[in-house]
Amino acid sequence: KQEVTQIPAALSVPEGENLVLNCSFTDSAIYNLQWFRQDPGKGLTSLLLIQSSQREQTSGRLNASLDKSSGRSTLYIAASQPGDSATYLCAVNSWGKLQFGAGTQVVVTP
Amino acid sequence: ETGVTQTPRHLVMGMTNKKSLKCEQHLGHNAMYWYKQSAKKPLELMFVYSLEERVENNSVPSRFSPECPNSSHLFLHLHTLQPEDSALYLCASSPGKGPWNEQFFGPGTRLTVL
């Protein structure tokens, strides 16, 4: 059974610092991995999708890497802003099912 | 309307009530999903529909009854719920049900069961 872990559970950084969010998974037989953002009480916004054949994906200040063999993905957010405050979820697609981690709650202080 | 919409956004119901959650996708997708997000727990997949056929039911209690009348609409009918069913219910859609498909989520319905 696929298990997805996100560490740390919460993170607070001053504005301008780079953010590093970690996601690990137990079964390397994945099709893809998605990173989502969730604002309090709201739905999920897809940030990046990395297919299993890819090593990284970039979108603006966001960069996500994938190391399937070690069961890890990292989301980097450069030059963080207060508007980046949210919960970040990673989800691994195994056999057509998305398995979610519990998320990392991020606070960026001005 | 664009993307995936859900109504109502908030719902409070008693344990003896019957209510329904509605999801509509405007993306031309063929697969739709219901997820449950309880406090401090990861999202849990409840149901998957592909071309209006239920292809997945993740051991969900029968007090939750999904319905997919067409590829654009998905309902979750609720009856005799328990307080522990209080959660954020999220709907998602994808172009197909294959694992390479990206899922797009709605804003969710916040359900409180008294």
HEC secondary structure over A35-78: EEEECCCCCEEEEEEEECCCCEEEECCEEEEEECCCCEEEEEEC
SS3 breakdown of chain B: % helix, strand, coil, rounded to 5? 5, 55, 40
Q: What is the mean pLDDT of chain B?
A: 91
A49 close contact with B: CB closer than 8 A: yes
Predicted pLDDT at A95: 75
User: Residues B90, B93, B96, B98: is their CA dihedral positive or negative?
Assistant: negative
Q: What is the pLDDT of residues A67-109, one digit of tens each?
A: 999 999 999 999 999 999 999 999 999 877 889 999 999 999 9
CB spacing of B99 vs A91 below 8 angstroms: no
Report which residue type is found at B56.
E
Q: What is the pLDDT of residues A14-57, one digit of tens each?
A: 999 999 999 999 999 999 999 999 998 888 999 999 999 999 99
Among chain B residues, the shortest Cα distance to A102 is held by: B42
Predicted pLDDT at B101: 83
Predicted pLDDT at B70: 92
Report which residue type is found at B110.
R
High-pLDDT (> 70) share of chain B, %: 99
Predicted pLDDT at B77: 97
Which chain B residues are within 8 Å of A49, Cβ to Cβ? 102
Predicted pLDDT at B1: 59
High-pLDDT (> 90) share of chain B, %: 75
Which chain A residues are within 8 Å of B4, Cβ to Cβ? 43
Strand partners, A109: A14
Between A42, A97, A102, which is nearest B45 by CB?
Answer: A97
Nearest Cα to Cα of residue A91 among A67, A68, A73, A65? A73
Nearest Cα to Cα of residue B74 among B35, B32, B108? B32
Q: What is the pLDDT of residues B13-60, one digit of tens each?
A: 988 889 999 999 999 999 999 999 998 788 999 999 988 777 777 789
Predicted pLDDT at B21: 98
Which token pair is B15? 């344990």
Work out the end-to-end distance of chain A between its first and last CA atoms, rounded to an integer number of angstroms. Answer: 41
pLDDT of B2 higher than 80: no
Which chain B residues are within 8 Å of A4, Cβ to Cβ? 42
A96 close contact with B: CB closer than 8 A: yes
Round to whole Å and give the CA distance between A103 and B43. Answer: 10
